[in-house]
A and B are shown apart, each in its own frame.
Chain A
Amino acid sequence: MSRTRIGRIGDGSRKLDSGSRFEISRSVPVLLPPALALLVALAAASLLVVAYGQSPLHVYRLFLDGTWGNAYGIGQVLFKATPLVFTGLSVALAFHAGLFNVGAEGQLTLGAFATGLVGAALPPATPAAIALPLAVGAGFCAGAAAGAVPGALKAWRGAHEVIVTIMLNFVILAELSDLGKRFYDRESVHTAHVVAGATLARAGAFFPSLRGSALSGAALLAAATAIAVWWLLQRTAAGFRLRAVGLGAEAAATAGISVARQTVIAMALAGGVAGLVGANAVLGYKGYYEEGFAGGVGFMGIAVALLGRNHPGGIVAAALLFGTLSQGGLAINAVVPKEIVEVLQAVIILAVAVSSATVRRQAAQLATGARA
Chain B
Amino acid sequence: MRGILSGAFLLQALRISVPYVLAALGGVASERSGVINIALEGMLLVGAFGAAVGALASGSALAGLGAGVLAGVALAALYGLAVIRWRADQIVCGVAATLLALGATRYFLKVFYNSTSNSPRIPSTDGLGWAILVGAALLAALAEAGLRRTAIGLRLRAVGEHPEAARSVGVRVAPLRWLGVLLSGALAGLGGVWLAFDQHGFVANMSAGRGFIALAAMILGGWRPLGALGACLLFGGAEALQLRLQSSGMGLGAGTVQALPYLITIVALAVRGRASVAPRALGT
Contact = CB atoms under 8 A, between A and B. Distances in A.
Interface string A150-187: 00010001111011101110110011111100000000
Contacts of A170: 209, 212, 258-259, 262
Closest 9 CB pairs of A and B: A178-B255, A342-B103, A346-B100, A158-B274, A349-B96, A178-B253, A339-B107, A174-B259, A167-B262
Contacts of A8: 89
A293 interface: no
A343 B107 contact: yes
B96 A339 contact: no
Given A16-B284, A175-B259, A166 B38 contact: yes
Interface residues of A, number: 53
A315 B58 CA distance: 47
Contacts of A347: 100
Interface of A: 8-10, 14, 16-17, 48, 51-52, 100, 102, 153, 157-160, 162-164, 166-168, 170-171, 174-179, 296, 299, 302-303, 306, 337, 339-347, 349-350, 353-354, 356-358, 361
Nearest to B109: A339
Interface residues of B, number: 49
A340 B212 CA distance: 25
Given A9-B92, A350-B78, 20 more contacts: A153-B270, A158-B273, A159-B270, A159-B273, A163-B269, A170-B262, A171-B263, A171-B266, A174-B255, A178-B256, A178-B259, A302-B95, A337-B107, A342-B104, A343-B104, A345-B99, A346-B104, A349-B99, A353-B82, A357-B87
A170 B104 CA distance: 23
B104 A350 contact: no
A353 B259 contact: no
Given A175-B256, A302-B92, A342 B99 contact: yes
B91 interface: yes
Contacts of A340: 103, 107
B106 A342 contact: yes
Nearest to A347: B100
B86 A10 contact: no
B8 interface: no
Interface string B214-246: 011001000000000000000000000000000
B88 A357 contact: yes
13 contacts: A10-B89, A51-B111, A102-B91, A170-B262, A175-B256, A178-B256, A179-B253, A303-B92, A339-B106, A339-B110, A342-B107, A350-B78, A350-B97
